[in-house]
Structure 1
Amino acid sequence: MSPQNTLKKYERALASQNWKLVEPLMHKNVCVTFSNGTFKGLDEVRGVFVSNFGSIQDEKYEISNLHWAHISNTEAVCLYDFNWQGVIEGEMCSGGGRGTSVLILEDGQWKIITEHLGPFAS
């Protein structure tokens, strides 16, 4: 699988809100930065994703405007827009911003080792 296919699979896994589909795409030393903090290692990242999945019902998640800044035989960097919408505490909510994902090839599989999500630049 290519880094492009891995990121597309990741988008679908996030939209499913099922950690069991997300986890195989994450490196064991993954580091994820959201607006509420930076989470290091698979256990911390699992915790924040499962919490997010539990708080947003009927979520729709998508990425667009992908820009592959670097692709080599062992690493890849992609910048993109992300958007989500879903129900939080009975109320329809939505958001989005810019994301950066860094993927590395390990044991023949592309894995996300770093992800940074933030607001759109003003």
Structure 2
Amino acid sequence: MGYEKAFQEYIDATNTHDFNNVRKYLHDDALYWFTNKTCATPAEIQAYFETTWEVIRDEEYWATDIRWLHADEHFATCVYAYHYRGIYDGKPVSGNGRATNVFKVDDNGEWKLIHEHLSSIK
């Protein structure tokens, strides 16, 4: 599986709202920088995802303007605009921001997300 396919499948997995699906695409050493929190362990990452899915019901997440900055046989880095919509406190909500993702080939030869940095645009 190439890095571009891994990226799209990661986005698709996120939209299942089942962290077991997301976990398949995460490197064991994954590090997330969210606007309001850093998550450095699988348990922290899972808790953040699951809390978000609880707070924003029926959330849909997608990426646009994807630009691959670097890719070789071991690493691939992209930046993109992220968007989401869902239901918050019974009302429709939506938003967007900027993201950076870094993928790394793991010991099994699979592309895995090792870093994600999301920041909102205000």
| Alignment TM class, shorter chain as reference | over 0.9
Q: Tell me whether 1:60 sits opposite 2:60 in the alignment.
A: yes
Q: Tell me whether 1:21 sits opposite 2:18 in the alignment.
A: no
SS in 2 for 1:51: helix
**Partner residue, 2:116:** 115
Q: Tell me whether 1:40 sits opposite 2:44 in the alignment.
A: no
SS in 1 for 2:73: coil
How big is each residue's C-alpha offset from its partner over 1:38-96, in whole Å with a ceiling of 9 and x where there is no partner? Answer: 11021111111111111111111110110000000000001001000000121111111
SS in 2 for 1:32: strand
**Partner residue, 2:81:** 81
Q: Tell me whether 1:98 sits opposite 2:116 in the alignment.
A: no
Work out the number of aligned pairs and report it. 121
Q: CA deviation at 1:25?
A: 0.3
SS in 2 for 1:59: strand
Runs of 4+ in structure 1 over 4 Å off: none
SS in 1 for 2:46: helix
Give the alignment's Cα RMSD to 1 decimal: 1.1
SS in 1 for 2:77: strand
SS in 1 for 2:70: strand
TM-score of the aligned structures, taking structure 2 as reference length? 0.95
Work out whether residues 27 and 42 of structure 1, in 8 Å CA contact, stay in contact via their aligned partners in 2: no
How big is each residue's C-alpha offset from its partner over 1:7-65, in whole Å with a ceiling of 9 and x where there is no partner? Answer: 00011111121111100101111111111111102111111111111111111111011
SS in 2 for 1:13: helix
